[in-house]
Amino acid sequence: MEKILGYFEKLGDTALYYLDQTGRMGIFLFFSVASIFKPPYKISPIIKQVYIIGALSVSVILFTGAFTGMVLGLQGYHTLNKVGAEAWLGSMVALGLIRELGPVMAALMVTGRAGSAICAEIGIMRISEQIDALDCMAIDPHKFIIAPKFIAGVISLPLLTAIFDVVGIFGGYAVGVGLLGASEGAYFSSIYSNVEFADVYMGLVKPLCFGLLITWICSAKGYFVHLERNASFGAEGVSRATTNAVVLSSVCILVFDYILTSLLI
């Protein structure tokens, strides 16, 4: 009986912890977004964050975009060839990238590269009392640290996704047309005739949401590193929070991708 009660106690404890964490993250999101609209408005911290989150992610986006497009071209050509529809290769690659793979893959790449860095940076600021120092100087940490990252995430993700899509389409072209001999004209004309504004719209809305999602989760995990369950302070605590941030962001990207697709399709 005691064992069963202990089990329920543990279950309740876990439920309370996650409820507490969800509430905390919700309040964090509210204060961070609200701080964006509070003066003073400074552009230089935003530019710096766009560079860190966006510009420094371009190389990884170019590589992953090119190879994703290439594998789509390869798989698509062989599949379409079976039914004699290789003329549709361009639209298949483009629609796959613009609607799904571009936003999701770019978001996953940014999570791995920039999201982990955001979490680690803020986590270190927390454990070395830099965030407390900001509070004591009457400087809002949400405004000073988090808001520029939120804005930069929302600006960078759509741009990186656009780069991913374009590079991917040319990757598909290189394999489908260059290596496997599909028609060059058909590749681009099928894109032109089948990709509609609604597809581009979906491909724009998703990265906007993912940009906010990644910066929110990664910033909050770093900000509350001292409140993590079984928290160990110092480097180990930050490392654990960073891992959790990347895993949670990646899962949330896939979950929200489904939700957004079902709403926008």
Partner 1 sequence: MSSEPIIQLKNVNKTFGTQHVLRGTNLSISEGKTTVIVGGSGQGKSVIIKHILGLIQPDDGEVLVYGKDINRISKKELREIRTNFGVLFQSAALFDSMTVFDNVALPLRERTKKSGKVIADIVNENLALMDIVGSNEKYPAQISGGMKKRVGLARALVLNPKIVFFDEPTTGLDVAKSNEIYRVFFKSQAQLGYTAVIVSHDVPKIFKLADYVALLYQGQVQDYLTPEEFQLSDDPIIRTFVETTMGQLYSSKSMEGE
Distance set, CA 93 to CA 13, 30, 71, 223, 242 (Å):
48, 38, 9, 40, 34
By CB under 8 A, tell whether 130 contacts partner 1. yes
Contact window for partner 1 (CB under 8 A) among 18-26, 101-109, 126-134, 182-190? 126-134
CB of 128 to partner 1, least distance (A): 6
15 near partner 1, judged by CB under 8 A: no
In the complex, least distance from residue 193 CB atom to partner 1, rounded to whole angstroms? 50
DSSP annotation string for 234-259 = HHHHHHHHHHHHHHHHHHHHHHHHHH
Helix H segments across 37-115? Answer: 44-49, 58-82, 89-95, 102-110
**Residue in 50, 187, 155, 167 with CA at minimum distance from that of residue 98:** 167
Footprint on residues 205-244 left by partner 1 (CB under 8 A): none
Minimum Å gap between C-beta 51 and partner 1 is 14
Residue type, 152: A
Residue of 128, 193, 232, 243 interacting with partner 1 (CB under 8 A): 128
Q: For CA atoms 260, 98, 106, 87, give the dihedral sign.
A: positive
Tokens (6 digits) for 63: 């590589």
Which stretch in 120-128, 193-201, 234-242, 257-265 sits in contact with partner 1 by CB under 8 A? 120-128
Position among 139, 198, 227, 235 found at the interface with partner 1 (CB under 8 A): 139
Residue 61: Cβ within 10 Å count: 24
Nearest partner of 101 among 57, 59, 60, 71, judged by Cα: 71
Shortest CB 165 distance to partner 1, Å = 33
Segment contacting partner 1 by CB under 8 A, of 14-22, 127-135, 201-209, 229-237: 127-135
CB of 56 to partner 1, least distance (A): 15
Window 141 to 170, contacts with partner 1 (CB under 8 A): 144
| One-letter amino acid for residue 189 of the chain | S
Q: How far is the CB of 150 from partner 1 (least distance, A)?
A: 18
Q: Which is nearer to partner 1, 34 or 247 (CB)?
A: 34
Q: Considering beta carbons, is residue 52 or 217 the nearer one to partner 1?
A: 52
129 lies in the site for partner 1, by CB under 8 A: yes
Structure-token pair, residue 258: 């489904």
Q: Which residue, 121 or 165, has its beta carbon nearer to partner 1?
A: 121
Q: By rule CB under 8 A, what count of residues binds partner 1?
A: 15
CB 90 within 8 A of CB 157: no
CB 127 within 8 A of CB 235: no
Alpha-carbon radius of gyration of the chain: 22
Q: Which residues bind partner 1 (CB under 8 A)?
A: 40, 124-125, 128-130, 132-133, 135-140, 144
